[in-house]
Structures are given as structure tokens and as C-alpha cells.
Structure 1
Amino acid sequence: MTDPRSSTLTPGLRHVFSYVVPESKTVPSLYPEAEQFQAMPKVFATGFMVGLMEWTCIQLLAPHLAAGEGSLGTHIDVSHLAATPPGLTVTVEAELTQVDGRRVWFDVSARDDRDLIGAGRHERAIVGWSKFEARVAEKLKTVLDG
């Protein structure tokens, strides 16, 4: 059987997504229970930038997946290059660079209203949600019954 993704999921696909940074996506909000994060400036957190990059890649993939499929981040290698205060817009661009079966790779970059704030590479795995959720449930059962 031919994989239906093979005809539409090809290197060179691009997706752009913009997001206005709220105060709730700044460093002190990353782990509110962490005293060290609470002492840091209210600028866009690296963890939230990574999530925004993943979100953009998920959006790029969505029209190319079968019903019941999704994707999971498996590797990310990005630099966070500049601080972004709340209220500025961050625009992420993702380009699909490689497809190998269920593994896909992207070049990602993020800019705010003034600077390039992040750039790098991201890998995702395409999965069937029911199979994935069954494995997670089995893992939990094994640990709890352990």
C-alpha cells in the first residue's frame, strides 16, 4: 500500500505563524513553583519559544496527515538569540527539509518585531494516536503495578 503522505509531504513546504507574546509566556510563568524562574526578567521564555516552533511545525504537517494521526517532537536544536518583551509579535517560519518515512525534519526561525530571536532544526515523528496512547497506558500500568 502506498503511503498517501508521499505525494503531498515533500521538502520545501513552508508555514508561517505569528503570535503576540502575553505576560503568561514569560520566564517567571514557565515553572511558577521555581523560585529561580520567579527572579528572572519577564521576557519570552525559551521553553515557550520552542513550543511555538513546534506548534508551527504541527500546523504545517496537519493537512498532510491521515485521520487519527498526529506528530510528536523527537529532537530540537535551537538557539535563543534575543529577548522579547510581552506585547511584541513573534513570527515563526518552518520549512520542511527532509522526510524519511514517519520522521520529518524542519528548519525553524523566529523573529519578533525587531530581531531574529531564535533559529535551528526540529525533528518530529508521525504517529497514530490510538497506538501511541495504548503504549503510554501500558507504560503507566507497568510502573504503577511495578
Structure 2
Amino acid sequence: MKELQVGLKHTFSYLVPKERTVPFLYPESSYFQVMPEVFATGYMVGFMEWACMDALAPYLDEGERTVGTMINVTHEAATPAGMEVTATVTLVEVDGKRTVWEIEARDEVEVIGRGRHERFVIDYEKFSKRVAAKGNK
């Protein structure tokens, strides 16, 4: 991984399709099926991770990826399908291969979520071998 500086900021946007709303999160669950078509918390969390991965991408060496290891966020407002959401992520800590990010996500009207996310840089090949070995037990 190339050197990272605390304070790095990155902005990432996404247009929320109907397929990223609550009824699509677990289609086999009747609980989700009866909910309104708004950006699902589970998908918002993934979007926030994606924003951090996008911020880190230019700093990764060949064969490196990042994995999320902690996320603590709020989901403060509903966003209907068809609206754009934007996450602003700020690097607040670097400790070796560990990075910590502050995140604020907004839709076209208001803040929809905020919090903290931790990611680790991994060697993709080594990680994949460990996961494969675990699956063979």
C-alpha cells in the first residue's frame, strides 16, 4: 500500500435504483416485502463501504484489496428510489494496514446517515486461500 495521509477526503455518488430498496434486501422475507421502497439500510452500509474502497483504490499495490472489519453508522432519513446519494468519506486514522474513515451520506435533500468505518488492506491471494481452506472443513 502506498502512503496514506490522515485527512484524505473522497466523494462518491450513486443513483438509487428500485432494486436497492427495502423489499429487495431479502426477497424471501415477508417482513421486508411489506416495507416501503426506500434505500435499505443494508444497501446504504454497502454504499458507504464502496465509497471507502473507491477512496483507497489508488493507494493499493498489485494484488491488494481491502476488507471491512467494523462499521458503526446511523440511518437518519429515508431516500426514495430514483434519488442520488452522495457519501463523503474522510480518513481519520492509519495504523499499518488498518484505516478508519468518518462517513457522511446525503441524498438530494438531507443527511441520510453518518458514522465510522474500518478497513484492512489484505493480500488477495493469501486471503482467498484461507477462505477456501475454511470452506473445506
Which residue of structure 2 lines up, in the alignment, with residue 57 of structure 1? 52
Q: TM-score, normalised by structure 1?
A: 0.92
Which residue of structure 2 lines up, in the alignment, with residue 80 of structure 1? 75
**1:5 Cα shift?**
2.1
**Aligned-residue CA RMSD in angstroms?**
0.7
Deviation string 1:87-141 (CA, Å, 9 cap, x unpaired) is: 1110001111100011100000100000100000000010000000000011011
Question: Rg: which structure is higher?
Answer: 1
C-alpha separation in 1, matches of 2:59 and 2:31: 41
What amino acid sits opposite 1:23 in the alignment?
Answer: K
Higher-helix-fraction structure: 1
Which residue of structure 2 lines up, in the alignment, with residue 5 of structure 1? 2
Which residue of structure 2 lines up, in the alignment, with residue 71 of structure 1? 66
Identity within the alignment, %: 52
Deviation string 1:19-78 (CA, Å, 9 cap, x unpaired) is: 111100000000101110001110000000000000000000011010000000000000
**SS of the counterpart of 2:82?**
coil
What amino acid sits opposite 1:5 in the alignment?
Answer: K
C-alpha separation in 1, matches of 2:58 and 2:50: 14
C-alpha separation in 2, matches of 1:94 and 1:80: 16
Matched, 1:91 2:77: no
Which residue of structure 2 lines up, in the alignment, with residue 45 of structure 1? 40
**SS of the counterpart of 2:2?**
helix
Which residue of structure 1 lines up, in the alignment, with residue 135 of structure 2? 140
The list of structure 1 runs, each at least 4 consecutive aligned residues, that deviate by more than 3 angstroms after superposition, is none
How many residue pairs get matched?
Answer: 137
**Structure 1 residues without counterparts, runs of 5 or longer:** none
Q: TM-score, normalised by structure 2?
A: 0.98
What amino acid sits opposite 1:118 in the alignment?
Answer: G
**Structure 2 residues without counterparts, runs of 5 or longer:** none
Which residue of structure 2 lines up, in the alignment, with residue 103 of structure 1? 98
